[in-house]
Every structure is written in structure tokens, then in C-alpha cells.
Structure 1
Amino acid sequence: MMIDNVLDLTIFARVAGAGSLTDAANELGLSLAVVSKRLAALEERMGVRLLNRTTRRQSLTQEGSRFHQHCVRILSEVQQAETDMQRSRNAVTGLLRITAPRMFGCRYLSVLAAEFQAMHPELRIELNLGDDFIDLVDAGMDVALRFGALNDSTMTARHVAPSQRVLCASPDYLRRHGVPQTPEDLSAHQCIVYGARTTRHWLFQHEGQPISAEIGATFLCNDGNAGQALAVAGAGIFFKSLWDVGSELANGSLVRVLEQYSAPTDPLHVVYPHALHLAPRVRHFADFAIARLRDEWQKLVPL
């Protein structure tokens, strides 16, 4: 029968080391009756005598001596495992797996990951960048940066900042094609549409009223980076998150159009499973990322 209780091994090892059941019971804070009963049950399960006992002395049998060596090793490993887990409760170590949208990840997460790892040299980081939705648990991810509404109640989602979408184009494009004055004008312009699902309409709000504007989708691509490169090259008007086009707006390679029309926001969240007993690497990275990204958003807002 398999031994299923570390306490039995502890009792036997302590009895062997102390030299008597009474001394072992005192050291363990147990009654002599309990120690004696557990030891007898252990010998019964093992099917061998582990101790020779008389009224005056006790000694290990040959089998008991071999078993004692195993017990010492096993209990040492158990103690090492507990020490390692206690250290893990406070140390930022191990492998941190993070997922984020591809464009956002390239622009922001890569920098955050490098800075965070430099702060915690024992940490390894794996980045999984892509625009397809993945289940964090199934994919083995520790934390995600996600935009939009979150419907999974099993996840912890911490709000970071809004994600306002803006219309923009290169100065060269606007010189050649003119500046649209209303959303309706977009149907006569070259527009750049990206993503897995193409669309012929962009949605706005003006004075609290929703507006669906038909667009002239001249360029279709499945990647946001490619769409943004087209916009900078003067190919057309682009509709993208301020997170993604902020640098281009700041350096003038893109300029905003139709600023008086707002777009629906998709707030940015840091998402992770299992808030209870959260690993320090996840908790500390979430705190770090939220603080840094909120600072970044404040830099973008005036744009």
C-alpha cells in the first residue's frame, strides 16, 4: 500500500533521529499514543519492521535503516519545494507569457517587456502577437492586452485607458484629393480598410447621434501595419486607433481629418486569469504596464 501522508515519514525520521518515541513526540508536539499508533500503521503498510524496540532502547532494523535514508531525502525535497514555492510568492521569476494585438504589441508591448525584464533579470518573457482572439487558459498565456468589451467573467480585467479611433491621411494625399468636410464626403475618397472582415461603412458619432458613412474602399489589406504604411505613403484615408497612429500624427507624416466627428471607443484592458494566488510576475507586470500605458495615453490625448 502506498504511503499517502508526509507526516508518517516525518514521525519515523524524527523517531530514528531522537532515539525514542517519547522524545520524538515531544519534538513534534504530538502525544506518545499518536506517534506510536502512526509508526505501527506505517510498519503495517510497509509489511516490514522498521524499529527494534525494548523497554530500554530502540534501534533501526536493516530495512528501517534503508527506509530512513529514503525518508531523509524525501523530506529534504519536500522542504526544498516549500521553500521554492514561498520564494515564488514574492520573486518575479520564471516565464511570463504575454499576448497582445500585433501592431500595438510591436509599438508598445515590446518596449514594456524589455524594460520590465531589465528590472527583473531572472524573468523570461514570451510575446505572442496577433489579431486573432485566443483563450488565455487554453493557450497558456499569463496576461493579455486587449481592446474592446470583455464578456468573460472568469477573467480579471483592469481598465488602462480609452482607445479613440481617428481618421487620418498624409499631407500629400490631402493636397492631391482635398480634405473631406463631412463623413458623406468619404465615399468620394480613397479609403484604406484593413482586417479580416472588410467593410463599406465607418461608424461615427456627432452631437450624440450615430452616423454610418459609406466609404470608397480603394485599398483592402489584412494587416494594420500594411494599412498604416499605405496611409503614410499617401494612398488614402485611414481609420485607426490613436494608439497606433499617435507617433505619425506627432511627426506630421499623418494628419487628422473630420476631427469634429468622434468614433466609438474600445477601451484598453490588462486581462489575466486566476486573480487568486496570482504569480508575482503577472501581478507586477500588470501594475507596471498599466502605469506606463496610462502615461503613454496622456501623451497621445492632445493629438
Structure 2
Amino acid sequence: MMLDDLPALAAFARIVSAGSMSAAARELDVPLSVVSKRLAQLEKAVGVRLLQRTTRRQTLTEEGAQFHVRVLRILEEVEQAELLLTRSRQEVAGLLRVTAPGEFGRQHIVPIVADFQRLHPALAVQLELTDAVVNLLETGQDLAIRFGSLQDSTMIARRLAPNYRVACASPAYLAQYGAPTHPAELGQHRCILIGDQRRAEWRFQGTEPVTVRVNGAIVTNDGQAAHEFALQGAGIVVKSIWDVGDDLLQRRLQRVLPAHTMPTAPLQAIFPHSQNMAPRVRAFVDYLQVRLQQAWRWDAATDN
């Protein structure tokens, strides 16, 4: 029979160690009637008498002695399990599973993860870099680092650092094809698209919001490949400032249509839930937020 009444097991062990039910009641700080009831329930559950009781003394029956040895082992295992959980609530250890966009992850997340793990050697990290939106509930990952607004109401989002998107191209491309002066002119330009569709809608803000349908001269599923195509003069690309900010500062890329800003795509940490978050997840997100905010350096790139 499955025994799931730990208070009864604990009461039985304390009766044996204390020498009597009344002494056990005092040590457990419960009424004698409670201890007596728990012992009676336990004996009924196992189907045998565990203690022989007289007015002067109590002794374990043969079955009770055998059972007592195993009860002590059970209670010790329970205590060790509780200690393990207590330590796990305090220690940054175990396996941390993270997903992040490919190019952003290689540039920014990898060094942060390496430094965080050096601070917490007991932590193992599994980092998946993909531009696809991963279903955390299906994959079992602890968190996703993403650009864009939260679409799933079952998820929790935490803002990590500033971000905005820019349309940009290399000086060589702009010298050959000219710089568009209005978003509507993008239809005549070579555009680099990320995904699997040859057409996309690029939205711009300004005095009047503008949505432009563009055709992909190059389409790639890899954000870093799109970035490299732009550096090679292959066309105009829309990227996060985190990906191209340094190229804008160094003039390897130039911003296109700087008077027409694009909708922001916030940089966020996404969680399946917020309750009972493991210490490793909470500590990593806190560390990640500090490091990414320290890494922000592209205010000067806005006007480039």
C-alpha cells in the first residue's frame, strides 16, 4: 500500500525515539490525541500492529521494528530532498536553456553567457541561436531573447535594453544606385529581405506613416547573411541597431531615409511564466539586462 501520510510516519518515528506517545506529543508540540490518532491511522494503513503498549512501557512488534528502519530511511530522504530544494532556490546551478536570434546572439549573448558562467561554475548553459520564434512551452527552454512585441498572452516579457530598427546600405551601393528620398522610392531599389518571402512591407513613421511594399533582390533566412550582403553593396536592408550600429558609426553602412523612422522592436526576455522562477533564470536575466544596457552605444548613430 502506498503511504503518503508523512505526519503519521514522523509521529511513529518520534514515538519510538521519545519512548512514549506523551513524550512524542511534547516534542512535536501537538496534543497527545493527535499523536495517538496518527499512530492508529498508520497501523490501519499497513494492516499490522507496530507497537505493543502497556501502562508502563511500549515495545516495537517484530513488524514494527522492520517498518521503523524503513521509516527512518524515508524521513531522511525527505529531509535531504527538502535541503536540496532549499539550496536550489538559493544557488545558481543546474541547466539554463536560452534561445536568441542568430546574429545578435553571436555578437552579444555569447560573451555575456561566457562571463556569467565564469561567475557561476556550477551552471550549465544550452544556447540555441535561431531567427525563428520558438515555442517555449513546447521546447522546455527557460527564456527567449527576442526583438519585437509580445504576441502570446501566456508569456511574460521583460524589457532588456533600448532598440530600434534602421534601413541602411553601403556607401558603394548608394553611390551606384543613389539614396532614396522617400519610402515610396524603395520599390525601385534592390532590397535585402530576411525570411522566405520575396515581398515584404516596410513601415515608416514620420509626419505621416507610410507602408511600402518592397521586392527582395536577395532573400535569406539568416540575419547575419543579410547584414553581410548589405556590407558587400548588394542592397538596402532593415536591421536592428544592435546588428549594424557599429557599421553606421564606422561608415561601413549609411542610414537610408533618416527622416523616416521605423517602428521600434523592443529587445525583451520572454518567459513561459513568472511564478517560481528558478534562481539561475532570475540571476541570468538580471545580469543580462545590466550588461546589455552597459553595451548600448549607438545614440550617435541615429543621425548617420
TM > 0.5 fold call: yes
CA-to-aligned-CA distance 1:47-68 (integer Å, 9 cap, x gap): 1221222222222122111111
**1:213 shift after superposition:** 3.4
User: Contact conserved, 1:169 with 1:255, CA < 8 A, in 2?
Assistant: yes
The equivalent of 1:143 in structure 2 is 143
CA distance in 2, matches of 1:213, 1:3: 68
1:79-118 to structure 2, matched below 5 A, reads: 79-118=79-118
1:146 aligns to what SS in structure 2?
strand
User: Contact conserved, 1:94 with 1:124, CA < 8 A, in 2?
Assistant: yes
CA-to-aligned-CA distance 1:166-222 (integer Å, 9 cap, x gap): 121222222333333333333333221221333254321222x11233545321222
Moved more, 20-29 or 183-192: 183-192
The equivalent of 2:153 in structure 1 is 153
Q: 1:112 to 1:45 in 2, by over 3 A?
A: same
1:97 aligns to what SS in structure 2?
strand
1:226-245 to structure 2, matched below 5 A, reads: 226-245=225-244
**1:19 shift after superposition:** 1.5
1:184-199 to structure 2, matched below 5 A, reads: 184-199=184-199
Confirm or deny that 1:300 pairs with 2:284: no
Long gaps (5+) in structure 1: none
Q: 1:82 to 1:187 in 2, by over 3 A?
A: same
CA distance in 2, matches of 1:216, 1:34: 78
**1:132 shift after superposition:** 2.0
**1:11 shift after superposition:** 0.8
**1:289 shift after superposition:** 1.4
1:206 aligns to what SS in structure 2?
coil
Query: Letter of the aligned partner of 2:164 in structure 1?
Result: Q
- Percent identity over paired residues: 48
Q: 1:200 to 1:280 in 2, by over 3 A?
A: closer
CA-to-aligned-CA distance 1:154-174 (integer Å, 9 cap, x gap): 322112334321121222222
CA distance in 2, matches of 1:241, 1:198: 20
Q: 1:200 to 1:275 in 2, by over 3 A?
A: closer
Query: Letter of the aligned partner of 2:166 in structure 1?
Result: V
CA distance in 2, matches of 1:41, 1:218: 78
User: Contact conserved, 2:192 with 2:226, CA < 8 A, in 1?
Assistant: yes
Q: 1:80 to 1:119 in 2, by over 3 A?
A: same
**1:80 shift after superposition:** 0.8
1:144 aligns to what SS in structure 2?
strand
The equivalent of 1:5 in structure 2 is 5
The equivalent of 2:258 in structure 1 is 259
CA distance in 1, matches of 2:188, 2:199: 16
CA distance in 2, matches of 1:23, 1:133: 62
CA distance in 2, matches of 1:13, 1:200: 71
CA distance in 2, matches of 1:32, 1:87: 34
Q: 1:17 to 1:164 in 2, by over 3 A?
A: same
CA distance in 2, matches of 1:253, 1:202: 23
The equivalent of 2:274 in structure 1 is 275
2:277 aligns to what SS in structure 1?
coil
**1:91 shift after superposition:** 1.3
Moved more, 78-87 or 162-171: 162-171
1:66-77 to structure 2, matched below 5 A, reads: 66-77=66-77
CA-to-aligned-CA distance 1:141-165 (integer Å, 9 cap, x gap): 1111122221333322112334321
User: Contact conserved, 1:162 with 1:265, CA < 8 A, in 2?
Assistant: no
2:105 aligns to what SS in structure 1?
helix
Query: Letter of the aligned partner of 1:205 in structure 2?
Result: Q
Confirm or deny that 1:289 pairs with 2:288: yes
CA-to-aligned-CA distance 1:10-38 (integer Å, 9 cap, x gap): 11111111121121111111222221222
User: Contact conserved, 1:96 with 1:126, CA < 8 A, in 2?
Assistant: yes
The equivalent of 1:166 in structure 2 is 166
2:205 aligns to what SS in structure 1?
strand
CA distance in 1, matches of 2:147, 2:269: 9
User: Contact conserved, 1:162 with 1:266, CA < 8 A, in 2?
Assistant: no
Please give the root-mean-square deviation of Cα atoms over the aligned residues, in Å.
Answer: 1.9
Query: Letter of the aligned partner of 2:276 in structure 1?
Result: H
User: Contact conserved, 1:8 with 1:38, CA < 8 A, in 2?
Assistant: yes
User: Contact conserved, 2:167 with 2:239, CA < 8 A, in 1?
Assistant: yes
